[in-house]
Structure 1
Amino acid sequence: MSTTTLWRPTGPDELALVAAAGWAAWPPRLPDQPIFYPVLNEAYAILIARDWNVPASGAGYVTRFEVRTTYLANYEVQQAGGRDILEYWIPAEDLAEFNRNIVGTIEVVRRFPDNAPLPG
């Protein structure tokens, strides 16, 4: 089975929900969040976690996880800015199926600031 590595920048509230789900699933989107957007490279995830999540919520985290490549073939890669700013746009109503296609666990690979606490 082939998998694709994805990253997700997140704040402490969302990360706590991931931890509560056993590091195996992303929480449902809020009403004002019509899409879930994992990104395709770590550098872009770092930029968002450090420059957006930290000011907004005091901490930012970069997570890494694997998703079945055959499942991701249902979606087009979206270029959200520069040529390296790539992400998938998963509609909120597809998130449960997306979660079922995660292989392994969601892991935190970076924290901002470096001493930001991990939930759980």
Structure 2
Amino acid sequence: MISRTAPATTTLWRPVGPAELALLEELDWRAWPPRLPEQPIFYPVLNEDYAIRIARDWNVRHDGAGYVTRFEVDTEFLTRYPVRQAGGRTILELWVPAEELALFNAHIVGTIQVVRSFS
């Protein structure tokens, strides 16, 4: 009998507005939608507090509502993306080139979950 163990995963978060949330639902909560031409980078964040700040302070102001999503990605795969510090020491992101998003999506383990909402 072959025994398979699940890959080690890393928890990531992403703040989204209502439009991106609707696209996630269309994709059965299993993948991120393709980036728009003006979005060359997909950037999930490494901590929930940072995602909350963006969803609450940016998405609500610009989109009327903000949501924090949480999802798991194969840790070994993520080593290809260096952690980027986008401000203070806890403002950490991964920068995934838009052309690699399908590959990134293939390494999501489980589903994307909404864990907070703001309006």
TM-score normalised by the shorter chain: which range applies? over 0.9
TM-score (norm 1): 0.93
> Any idea what the Cα deviations from partners look like across 1:44-91, whole Å, max 9, x if unmatched?
000000000001110000000000001100110000000000000000
Structure 2: stretches of 5+ with no match in the other structure: 1-6
Partner residue of 2:104? 98
Report sequence identity in percent: 71
1:50 aligns with 2:56: yes
Q: CA–CA distance in 1 between the matches of 2:10 and 2:40?
A: 23
Instruction: Flag as ranges the 4+ runs of structure 1 deviating above 6 A.
Output: none
Q: What displacement does 1:32 show?
A: 0.3
Q: What displacement does 1:11 show?
A: 0.3
1:17 aligns with 2:23: yes
Q: What displacement does 1:97 show?
A: 0.3
Partner residue of 2:71? 65
Q: CA–CA distance in 2 between the matches of 1:92 and 1:80?
A: 18
TM-score (norm 2): 0.94
Q: CA RMSD in A?
A: 0.4
Q: CA–CA distance in 1 between the matches of 2:115 and 2:81?
A: 25
Equivalenced residues, count: 113
1:5 aligns with 2:24: no
Larger radius of gyration: 2
Structure 1: stretches of 5+ with no match in the other structure: 114-120
